[in-house]
Structure 1
């Protein structure tokens, strides 16, 4: 087990070695969770005993003498102290005030013990990764070694990857027996298609008595391959051990024209189940560009769409590509706004952002930047392209640098000639 020192005012109060040594005295016949619990109880008792032993110490009495009248009065609120005052026992009053002072003084130590802050859960997770590496074959072990190096590097910058959060929290809770809220009765999860199974299972662990409603669009999965709603339900029902799973489909699209949705749903394995709203417009267009012509093509496309529509959004696969688009439009006569994750307001009619920031938004016209084979090579990109297309209400223009994505080639008939 890995422990860390508990500090008070830059000095070690309980050392990691003390904690580890006491853990070793507890029989291994107990589970690790039970042993950790005994470590916690032991050192909380040590803290209590230390307060009891020091309440008459000279330095404590000196600290009490330095308190203001108000600070002293704040400490005299206990029933025992009031009883002692009635009995006119000055020594008892001073002892009880000193005890109250020390308890407040070292509250941060008590909090650290209560919340298991003495466990070095990050090093414990690192040991877990090492254990996995040792159990696997050469090719798998190499991947996990790379994973461990990545985890170590991220820790140097005081951060961890999102994919590590749920297993790390599971490990922490497994060791401490904490992390659950028994009172929560209902949990609602939006955009569930972007959650890993481990993340949703952790929510189930954290709220064990709650009923769950998970809402999302399986076709808008940005970080994995698209799955049908029924396939998702079956997978999560098994993971959650759900007794009465129910699938409710909302499959009518109201945002986009029929022509845009015909293109979008043709990308999907179950696209024929989506019902389109009967509002017609132009078919989506595809325009080819090269590296040396893309700036001109983008400016032309924006100019054309702005003549007819109020809001035009250029959606890219990555944030870096969004920066390139803004640079390409630097001389455009209207303001161009690059949206970031923390932005809450739009200040321009021409917007640039990566696709993952456009979820839940809609625009009069959308330009899909570089829908090439290089950017969207296989089925893993279906969710990205579907999300991009379904942000457009009236017009969708696609631009590719080099050969277009094979996903779009397969639905060529839904595009304008």
Structure 2
């Protein structure tokens, strides 16, 4: 029998505030970094590695862990999560991220060594705990893509953490430079495994919630087949199977896209809400990123402007917009439930926890500015600067749209 952990409103609030707070600090650092140097993401060298790790680890993974740890007991009731471990793990995780980014930014081996030991250790513990937590739902994994994705995603995270730790030890001078050849597998597991599989698993639950599809669990036309095909494609990539890899990944992505389009088309809302528009735009940006990447690979001369733009869209612009779209509904929903359960705090009827207009306006500015930054290589010299300014304004508006819910959660934590 699965052990039950106490996951009450106060515990959820503490986890949300810690992980979202840390992620938002990294997000603001990214915004101001790009506002000062819009071409930093493609400058190459250790500075680019620092920027990428600030994006993927400091911003995206931190927020995704906070959301993941809160959604897991809700989306898969048979699972088990130890909230105490989630709370305590935040501090060494944050310290490891800071050490790693400072190590890349300054080129100091001792900082890379410290981050390369601490961060993989914390991520490995968290990933093993999450795999153990999802395991009670193993019986429904073939028909429930969320259950399968939520098992494979932390498994990929743990493996990526091990490989990342080995590479950091190599950069720190402990291991031989040959460990750096693990970089492609590290990226494959971190991006294609952890990030993509988490997005796929969450989308099968959250998109029906966003678009009010009548029967969320029955909306997966192919069961867990898209997730299985994608995971098989990742395995084929690791084994070096060229055509098999492309076929499996493409089929998995196409079936997943079909499910998402069908869910969105079957929504009950006649008027599209901001969360729905932002969700659709974020998926469209992922598609544009794939097209730009294909275009860059097909060019024999100067492919980087297009492939660099694809990486920027896929690793920062699109996932950030999707995160804010998810948070604008998830945070309001969980906060409203917790406010209703707590005595001495007014119910959600007296709170305006949502700011749809700033969210929509911020999202549109975010996309317009981000495209200016991403396509800076083919725009006039002032293009990236204008894009970075619009992106900064859009990001601040997106953050501001979540402020009422975050403030309400702070009151929940403080008891009134």
Instruction: Return the TM-score normalized by structure 2.
Output: 0.23
**Structure having the larger proportion of residues in strand:** 1
**Structure having the larger proportion of residues in helix:** 2
Instruction: Return the TM-score normalized by structure 1.
Output: 0.23
